[in-house]
Amino acid sequence: MAVQTATYRFTVEEYHRMADAGIFMEDDRIELIEGEVVEMSPIGSFHASVVDILNQELNDKLRKAATVRVQNPAILNFRTEPEPDIILLKQHPRFYRDKHPGPEDILLIIEVADSSLHYDRYTKMPLYARTGVVESWIVNLVDGAIEIHRQPSPEGYRVIEICRGQDTVSPLAFPEIEIRVEEIVGEARESM
């Protein structure tokens, strides 16, 4: 007779209490994904440079029309608090001082992926879709592309577009803003 074991899944509230109790160190690279505390991949220089380029591009082009957050948490449901590389948020009078943003506040999530590509594509993108994030991008450093995921559903995103090189990408919320893929991935690749 096989013995079945149960897995305990934490809530966001329990996760915060563990952090407050000192179970996690402040600089631990972890996030809560569907109740599991997950260690995040280390950030290499290529990855970091792309996050910096995107941050600067979005802030320059948006001119305070939205809030750009870098590697900060969002609460997607009672068991999920990821820390995406970049989140584009609706403006909030107190810059989300009283609460972390949720799916209703998120205009775009961007994950920059090299060693985390499989995890971002097959775990995070479906999770973002299920929780109602309207648009998510994977900046795919392995293939030099930006994968745009739109039209969320419980089964995942219904529309996925892959852009490369001279292609331009624009957030749904700000279609007037165009970012050339090679300016994001190309510049970072040159600096390797």
Q: Which tens digits make up the pLDDT trace of 52-109?
A: 999 999 999 998 899 999 999 999 999 999 999 999 999 988 889 999 999 999 999 9
Does 17 map to a domain?
no
Domain boundaries, position 84: 43-190
Does 4 map to a domain?
no
Does 177 map to a domain?
yes
Tokens in use for 184? 């994001």
Q: Which tens digits make up the pLDDT trace of 141-181?
A: 999 999 999 999 999 999 999 999 999 999 999 999 999 99
d(CA 63, CA 160) in angstroms, rounded, equals: 28
Q: What is the pTM of this model?
A: 0.92
The CATH number of the domain holding residue 124 is 3.90.1570.10
Tell me what pLDDT residue 3 has: 74
Does 37 map to a domain?
no
**Number of C-beta neighbours around residue 142 at 10 A:** 10
Tokens in use for 181? 């893929």
Among candidate residues 112, 120, 106, 93, the one with its CA nearest the CA of residue 55? 112
Tell me what pLDDT residue 191 has: 43
- Counting the structural domains of the chain, the total is 1
